[in-house]
Amino acid sequence: MKYIDDVKFHNPTNFTDRYKKLRDSTFVKETEKPYLATKQPVTEKLVKTIWFDQQIERRGLRTTDGKRIAIITPGEWNFDEGPDFINAKINLNGQDLTGDVEIDIYSSNWKTHKHNKNKNFNNVVLHVFLWSKGKEAKTITQDKKIIPSLELIDYINDDLEIIDSNFDVENYPYSSKVRAGKCAKHTLKKYSLLEYIVGLAGDEKIKLKSDIFANRLAKESINEIIYQGIMDGLGYGPNRENFKKLAEILPLERISEIIKLEKFEEKSVRIQSLFFGVAGLIPEIEKIEMLDDEAKNYIAKIKKIWKTLRQQIKPAETIKKETWKFRGLRPYNFPYRRLAAASLIISRYIDDTGFEKLLQNFTDKVLAGKFKLKNFVDNFPPKDKAGPPLAEKTAATDSSNFWFYRTTFVSKKFSKPVALLGEERILLILINTFLPAAIAKINKPEDNASIKIILQWWLKQPAISTNRTARITSWRCGFGNIKGVSERVQQGLIQIFRDFCDTKKGTCTDCGFQSIFTMPTGTFF
């Protein structure tokens, strides 16, 4: 037998739709599979996160048969076989119910997935789905109970495509008992094909984001898009939503209007005061013990500035302090230091075309073959302009530099300054914001040569560290150790997880990824 491994797969010379076509072909058997305007398939993972995060209008909820329903708790993620969430609590027409919740894309999936014949679903108290397929039969369990149903689509808070673009796949919950997937038995003999597909998936991840940015450019400035991308990158992990919310409350134009100062140092402190104030993170000095004089002076200064600035902020535009997450984070990555980093970056680039110039500088250096990540890190913001770079030694007495020497208001001061952002974080901001923005801005037929050069840079960009989701996917699909791989490979594994994988036991049965490895060789050329 001639395995596909005997075939040489070459890297593409442009960003293509090959991965998209392969992915979409695996969904043919599910003729109901819906697509977003970006041609990205709606996955059950997305619907599950909408449910768990309760990204819905909770007031006035009604079941498909008109009963009043209130969600007390959405339940806990189930990583074993059976319903998607366990121990959920709902109130149905005044009656409290505790049990499981099953999530589907369509109402008809209850039968097509044979939940009605599976005793593991007998404790379900609510069937939640995105869309109803017309007049459906009642949802009935294996032990003949009729289960209430909730159609989500009319209650979702935001446009489905926006929710999908914000889907934080890298923080999707998973079980530590994750096992190798069924696709691994195919990839063992077709490893070169797996490598090829993973690479294409990495390109697709960038292409999807560049398409979103291109659509946004029709109604937003490139400065605002870059700013929001940076804020999103600074808030990666449990504080991502709060950073995005902060960027929505305080777009660049509004920040500029509120602070109204030109001097860099004072400007950065005012932005810091604005961010900390809106974030709800300015403490009361008298309520904190063990504050040294420098910390007291810093708090007093930003509190005084915030007292003036808050007159332009509505009470509803502030974020509750308790929503910020610290547990599980390295102290160097605490929100205080990330907000300080944001204030310094914005201070440097808040003028009308600041972020656009930064993007153009990145693009020009890549096209000229002169881009060096270290230079970008050291000059973010630049050394030779007003203000210190994020990793440079700075005067400890300057209020704008307070967080170079601290992790909290009461922490012991470092003897030397510590960079507010590491190289790894800046690389991710570069990959997730600057790279797709550069493609979106120049992606025209006449600029095809430029796109090819950018792709070649992308192919060679090494990953600085390994990502958890990429490691899980690599293990499940048989890719192997990802230490030392390119960032393209790592992002490809993340995209494959988003499109195919799930962390729940038993989901491999319906996954279409393994079918790719049974396709004729000619499919891939």
Range of the domain at 327: 221-428
Q: Dihedrals φ, ψ of 7, to 5°?
A: -95, 135
Q: What is the pLDDT of residue 387?
A: 42
Name the amino acid, one letter, at 291. L
Over 60: is that where the pLDDT of 180 sits?
Answer: yes
Write the pLDDT tens digit of every residue in 64-116.
Answer: 999 999 999 899 888 778 899 999 999 999 999 999 999 999 998 999 899 99
Question: Got the DSSP string for 234-247?
Answer: HT-STTHHHHHHHH
Domain boundary among 145, 167, 189: 167
Place of tokens 């309520």: 287
Ranges of beta strands (E only) in 265-336 are none
And the tokens for 511?
């996954």
Report the domain count for the chain. 2
Q: Dihedrals φ, ψ of 20, to 5°?
A: -60, -45
Q: Are residues 390 and 260 in the same domain?
A: yes
Contact 148, 67 (CB under 8 A): yes
Place of tokens 């693009």: 363
Q: Are residues 163 and 226 in the same domain?
A: no
The whole-number average pLDDT for the span 272-295 is: 89
Domain boundary among 428, 452, 473: 428
Q: What is the pLDDT of residue 1?
A: 37
Q: Are residues 252 and 162 in the same domain?
A: no
Q: Are residues 262 and 407 in the same domain?
A: yes
Q: Are residues 274 and 385 in the same domain?
A: yes
Write the pLDDT tens digit of every residue in 290-340.
Answer: 888 999 999 999 999 999 999 999 999 999 999 999 988 899 999 999 999
Q: At 254, is the pLDDT very low, low, confident or very high (cuts 50, 70, 90)?
A: very high
> Of 159-168, 361-370, 511-520, which gets the smallest average pLDDT?
159-168
Q: Dihedrals φ, ψ of 95, to 5°?
A: -105, 125
Q: Are residues 285 and 384 in the same domain?
A: yes
Q: What is the pLDDT of residue 246?
A: 97
Helix axis angle, 252-259 relative to 222-234, nearest 10°? 90
Q: What is the pLDDT of residue 34?
A: 61
The whole-number average pLDDT for the span 21-38 is: 64
Domain boundary among 428, 449, 470: 428
Rounded CA-CA distance 126/143 in Å is 15
* Polymer length of the chain: 525
Average pLDDT along the chain? 85
Rounded CA-CA distance 303/415 in Å is 26
Q: Are residues 280 and 369 in the same domain?
A: yes
Ranges of beta strands (E only) in 438-488 are none
Q: Are residues 261 and 408 in the same domain?
A: yes
And the tokens for 108?
């008809």
What burial letters (b/e) apply to 16-44, b meaning 16+ CB within 10 Å?
A: eebbbebbbebeeeeeebeebeeebbbbb
Q: Are residues 271 and 339 in the same domain?
A: yes
Identify the helix (H) or strand (E) that includes residue 264. Answer: helix 264-279
Over 80: is that where the pLDDT of 250 sits?
Answer: yes
Over 80: is that where the pLDDT of 371 sits?
Answer: yes
Contact 448, 15 (CB under 8 A): no
Write the pLDDT tens digit of every residue in 70-80.
Answer: 999 899 888 77
Q: Are residues 132 and 235 in the same domain?
A: no
Q: Are residues 398 and 300 in the same domain?
A: yes
